[in-house]
Amino acid sequence: MPSHVFAADLGGTKCSAARIDRKGRVVSCRTVPVDLTSPSGPVLQIRQLAEELAEGRNPAKAFSAAAVAVPGLVRQNGTVWAPNLPGWERMPLARRLRRLLGVPVVVESDRIAAVLGECWKGAAQGRADAIVLMIGTGLGAGILSGGRVVRGAHELSGCVGWLTVTREDIPEAPGRGELESLAAGPGIVRAAQERLRNGEASSLSRLNVSQVTAVDIAAAARQGDRLARDVFHHAGRYLGFGVANLVSLFNPEIIVIGGGMAEAADLYLTSLTRAMAERAQPLAATQVKIRVSTLGNKVNLLGCARLAWEVAGRAVVHNARRSASPLRFT
């Protein structure tokens, strides 16, 4: 059996792939912009990345198995609905990749890949009850309870961006979810832009308000800008209210903050933790640990590698994902 698996993390704008060994070491990695010119574009890119990482060998001989994380809904047969990828309403990704790569293939949502990665090689290593909160342009969570992945009846568990955390009507909420509208990257940008347009003093005023980014706001906050710091404080409070619901519902040992906004966690983590402590079940709140991911953009790749090693060597390829569903980490 080959000593490596192929892992891919497909997003709405880029696709990363890696060759990973049994110990979770990333031997080599590639990242390319996603080809959105046709529904088959991303599929063929994944095959090309596998061929490149196979280093001149046939992927079927270079890899024991393959796993792919996707930003959408994944059925048990590996069919994907991904609204950010044109034409992916019912993409039979697992079946197509099995044919193209010649190895067992498992397809998983990026939320679940993240929690598997953290529980295998990250801050939640060895934990049986963990939640990974991915905060970026969107907001989602991977949930492990009693050592098992929580999927839900229709594979929709973890859509925490839709949690209600205020009594107000949020104009953007119907299309994105309330918590996501308030606390993910675009929500932080909107909040800052609104205050700048209202004439509040800020070092950000020197920029074109319509072009202000979350990176700009974070940089200003670290330089002491009051408006920028306050925007992150409020976002942290909203996140804390959402996390409080998760803590009370699932009683996790640890919650790991990941995604692009994890890089700015120093600006909102205190606010998040305090708000969580105010709203969550008291005993659960005192026992849960909140940590920031140290795996960065490799967390989904590692989660995929964990899945790929689970299915490697199994004879019934078409049942690979169903067999992998009750992964245990105890």
pLDDT in tens, 282-327: 999 999 999 999 999 999 999 999 999 999 966 334 444 444 444 5
CA 307 centroid distance within chain: 16
C-alpha–C-alpha distance, residues 110 and 116, integer Å: 10
Mean pLDDT of 92-109: 97
**Structure-model confidence comparison of residues 162 and 202, the more confident one:** 202
When the pLDDT of each residue in the chain is averaged and rounded to a whole number, the result is: 92
The confidence score (pLDDT) of residue 329 equals: 52
State if pTM tops 0.85.
yes
Question: How would CATH label the architecture of 123-294?
Answer: 2-Layer Sandwich (3.30)
- Inform me whether the pLDDT recorded for 101 exceeds 60: yes
Strands 66-70 and 73-74: unpaired
The confidence score (pLDDT) of residue 56 equals: 87
The confidence score (pLDDT) of residue 319 equals: 42
Q: Give the model confidence (pLDDT) of 26-71 as tens digits.
A: 999 999 999 999 999 999 999 999 999 999 899 999 999 999 999 9
- Inform me whether the pLDDT recorded for 330 exceeds 50: no
C-alpha–C-alpha distance, residues 239 and 24, integer Å: 31
C-alpha dihedral sign at 271, 276, 277, 279: positive
Strands 26-33 and 14-21: antiparallel
CA 262 centroid distance within chain: 11
Q: Give the model confidence (pLDDT) of 170-222 as tens digits.
A: 665 555 568 999 999 999 999 999 999 999 999 999 999 999 999 999 999 99
In the chain the beta strands, taken as DSSP E runs, fall at 4-10, 14-21, 26-33, 66-70, 73-74, 80-81, 105-109, 130-135, 139-145, 148-149, 254-258, 289-292
Mean pLDDT of 129-133: 98
C-alpha–C-alpha distance, residues 15 and 36, integer Å: 11
The confidence score (pLDDT) of residue 326 equals: 47
The confidence score (pLDDT) of residue 166 equals: 83
The confidence score (pLDDT) of residue 170 equals: 61
Confidence label for 1 from pLDDT (cuts 50, 70 and 90): confident
High-pLDDT (> 70) share of the chain, %: 92
C-alpha–C-alpha distance, residues 94 and 62, integer Å: 18
- Inform me whether the pLDDT recorded for 77 exceeds 50: yes
Mean pLDDT of 216-242: 98
Angle at which helix 226-250 crosses helix 185-197, to 10 degrees, equals 140
Confidence label for 89 from pLDDT (cuts 50, 70 and 90): very high
The confidence score (pLDDT) of residue 328 equals: 52
CATH 3.30.420.40 residue spans of the chain: 4-110+297-324, 123-294
Q: What is the DSSP letter of 210?
A: G
C-alpha dihedral sign at 311, 17, 266, 169: negative
User: How many CB atoms lie under 10 A from the CB of residue 205?
Assistant: 13
* Alpha carbon distances (Å) from 15 to 7, 175, 193, 303: 11, 25, 31, 15
Question: How would CATH label the architecture of 4-110+297-324?
Answer: 2-Layer Sandwich (3.30)
The confidence score (pLDDT) of residue 313 equals: 63
Mean pLDDT of 153-159: 92
Three-class SS state of 323 = helix
High-pLDDT (> 90) share of the chain, %: 85
Q: Give the model confidence (pLDDT) of 251-263 as tens digits.
A: 999 999 999 999 9
Residue with tokens 């409070």: 237
